[in-house]
Structures are given as C-alpha cells and as structure tokens.
Amino acid sequence: MANDTPALTLGVALRRYLDARNAALVAARASLGITDIDARALLFVVGNPGTRPTALREYLGITSAGVTTLIDRLVSRSLVRRDVDPTDRRVNRITATVDMGEDPWSALNRFDDDFDVAVDAADQVMVENSTALLAALTAATVGTRH
C-alpha cells in the first residue's frame, strides 16, 4: 500500500503552515462576520495607526473608489475612524477603534500569537538559522519570473 503523504520538504512544511494559518483566519473572519479584505484592511490599520487611505489602497492593491467604499464600511461598523490630519486638513488618517488583544477581535491574531509562543519555546539557534534560511530563499525567489 502506497503512502499518499508527500515527503516533508521545506516547501511542503511552508504550505502546511500557510494552510493552517489561512484556515484559522477564515474561521476568525466567519466568527466576526467580516470579509477577507475587511480583515486585511483592519490588520493593516492596526499595524499602522493613523495610516492614510492611499497607503491602505496601495497595500491592498485596490482602486481609490474601492478604498473609500472599504473605509466607509469599516467606519459604519465602528471598526475604524477617520481623523482629519492636524497639519494638512485635506488628509484623513485611519485608526482602528477595536482592541485586537481582546475578544472577539483577538481571533484574527490568535494563530500568529500561538505560533510566536511556540517559536519562543523552540531552540533559538534553530529559529535564527531557519529565519535566515527562509529570508534568503524568499529573497532569491521574489522577482525571478517576469
């Protein structure tokens, strides 16, 4: 009887990590009743408080009209707020109004937080070597095909 499980290679391990992380995010988004783009936008705003809509648009790769609609939707759900920039009143700054460290919003970061705990508990030399290897392989891969 043949073994249908692929050999564990670095690529397979990374795909398993991504599959597990994506499954956790899908479950978190479903429990929160938000879309993928809403979650990505919210996580970006949390990580970049006071961000400009242009930065969010560039990060998400959407149109100006799309980011306006997205921000309107997040504001209407009280997930973010728009603040006028005090030095340039033509500019809006977007800030999250939810605490990602508290339930239910912590569900969006739970997988990453749990992974970080596991990393902290692991052999730190192995972690440093793995980090360096992954960074080098990613850099060698990005932009190799046009």
pLDDT band, very low/low/confident/very high, at 104 (cuts 50, 70, 90): very high
Q: Omega into 49 within 30° of 0, i.e. cis?
A: no
Question: Per-residue pLDDT tens for 111-126?
Answer: 999 999 999 999 999 9
Indicate whether 10 pLDDT > 80.
Answer: yes
Question: pLDDT at position 135, please?
Answer: 94
Question: CB within 8 A of 91, min separation 6: which ones?
Answer: 52, 84, 85
Question: Per-residue pLDDT tens for 15-73?
Answer: 999 999 999 999 999 999 999 999 999 999 999 999 999 999 999 999 999 999 999 99
Question: pLDDT at position 103, please?
Answer: 94
- Rounded to whole angstroms, how far apart are CA atoms 54 and 71? 11
Average pLDDT value for residue range 128-132: 96
pLDDT band, very low/low/confident/very high, at 146 (cuts 50, 70, 90): low
Question: pLDDT at position 85, please?
Answer: 87
